[in-house]
Structure 1
């Protein structure tokens, strides 16, 4: 699995609302072509240089543009609150953990954020980082042992499986990771808890959706403004954990 890509220098976010306004305009930066870059690399570089979220993440000291996705989703549904215990799965480079730590007031000792990823990334104030593959057999027990009271209020997952270029295979890998994350959430969440997970349009497999609808009061699909319009990226937000309904 991989964490959230992209990245600016570390630092704290500034509130739960996006700093981007609808009226903002940005001069487009042209990138000279190079024989050392492929056409796809050229397009990626131009997109990064002209992406207002990338620029905003640098201004605010956020680890990645992905931080705005969590900020926007929470701004709409308000599921992150002061004092909560949060687990961020596939956390690197740490954008989501930054936003979560600020909102739950982890730096003040009120809330708690535990970030896990097999990739190493720079420390974040108020966040406990566990460098481990979330899919490893011992990962769940290790996370529980670090949680206050052994349970969480929110489980976040922006994990993405490595792609092989075969659409069906890639989709199955992504859904597989989402199912593992959902099963973990059902095992670790307090009643009333929240699970937010990345999936992709095409869409959430019936098995995963049935699992979430059984275990949570409300399940919805969300595409925040920070998700690129051309991307098939989508998030499933499950709220109101029923407290072990899957074990009945």
Structure 2
């Protein structure tokens, strides 16, 4: 299983000496051919397979966490839109969630540190991620936050993650609005479950968070910034908005 120790490919590009070219097959669209060629020549895809990650996206979270220190041993994390599970794998390793006998790693002295907790939520079922509890729910549902809080019991959340993206329409402005809507849904949940001082990390597109989303973040968090990890493809318009230092108070409603 992937451990989440390295944030990028180790010499993958160097090992791949030749570019793999894919011919357009009968019945395959040009866009599909380009996607396949890009996958075959992407060192992060190769390294994800080598390290046991379910997607290259794991390296984006690894890189951002290396720099911003979001995932700490003993932390509680909610991963929204978790499929296929790459971000949840990273979160499990870094907060040291209990993945079962023989798989959990302790400190250098052999002693186990504090155990974290990871909730992976998605509209569709995914293959179980060892160490993460899965919840099948629609994150845009108005009751999603309360559902997650009920599952957490008395635990409060340190980090809410969202790598969600709507299917592309090919129209930049429409795609941006759809991704922002998902980021806003993730923020709704974050405001329900985060402990004071907690963090929120969500995907947006080029142009970043704006309007109501940005205003809410600046009001409710001490620091707000946009980050683009190197693991994001150069031709990708994605960026992430990171908010740290949640100013809200823990809800008083009991579950």
Match of 2:3? Answer: 13
Partner of 2:43 in structure 1? 52
Aligned-partner SS, 2:62: helix
Rounded Cα–Cα distance in structure 2 between residues aligned with 1:14 and 1:188:
25
State the secondary structure of the residue aligned to 1:24.
helix
Cα distance in 2, alignment partners of residues 136 and 187 from structure 1: 13
Q: Which has more radius of gyration? A: 2
Q: CA deviation at 1:218?
A: 0.8
TM-score, length-normalised on structure 1? 0.89
Task: Supply the distance in 2 between the matched residues of 1:198 and 1:242 (Cα, whole angstroms).
Answer: 21
1:35 is matched with 26
1:185 matched residue in structure 2: 190
Q: Contact 1:215–1:244 at 8 Å: present in 2 too? A: no
1:159 aligns with 2:164: yes
* More divergent stretch after superposition (102-111 vs 60-69): 102-111
Matched residues in 1 for 2:86 and 2:24: separation? 30
Q: Check whether the contact 2:180–2:209 (CA below 8 A) recurs between aligned residues.
A: yes
Return closer, same or farther for 1:125/1:222 CA change in 2, 3 Å cut-off: same
Deviations 1:123-166 (A, max 9, x none): 11100011221122332222111225242110000011233333
1:243 deviates by: 2.1
| Counterpart in the other structure of 2:127 | 122
In 2: Cα distance, 1:196 partner to 1:77 partner: 11
Instruction: Tell me how many residue pairs correspond in the alignment.
Output: 235
Gaps of 5+ in 1: 1-10
Q: Does 1:196 align with 2:206?
A: no
Equivalent residues of 2:139, 2:185 under 8 A apart: no
Partner of 1:218: 223
CA–CA separation in structure 2 for the residues paired with 1:84 and 1:148: 15
Three-state SS of the structure 2 residue aligned to 1:198 is strand
For residues 131 and 45 of structure 2, the distance between their equivalents in structure 1, rounded to whole angstroms, comes to: 24
Structure 1 window deviating more from structure 2 (40-49 vs 195-204): it is: 195-204
Question: Who is 2:83 aligned against?
Answer: 92
**Is there any run of 5+ residues in structure 2 with no aligned partner, and where?**
99-103, 105-113, 251-255
Query: Hey, what's the Cα distance between the residues in 2 that align with 1:21 and 1:78?
Result: 25
Q: Give the equivalent residue in structure 2 for 1:235.
A: 240
2:54 alignment partner, one of 34, 59, 63: 63
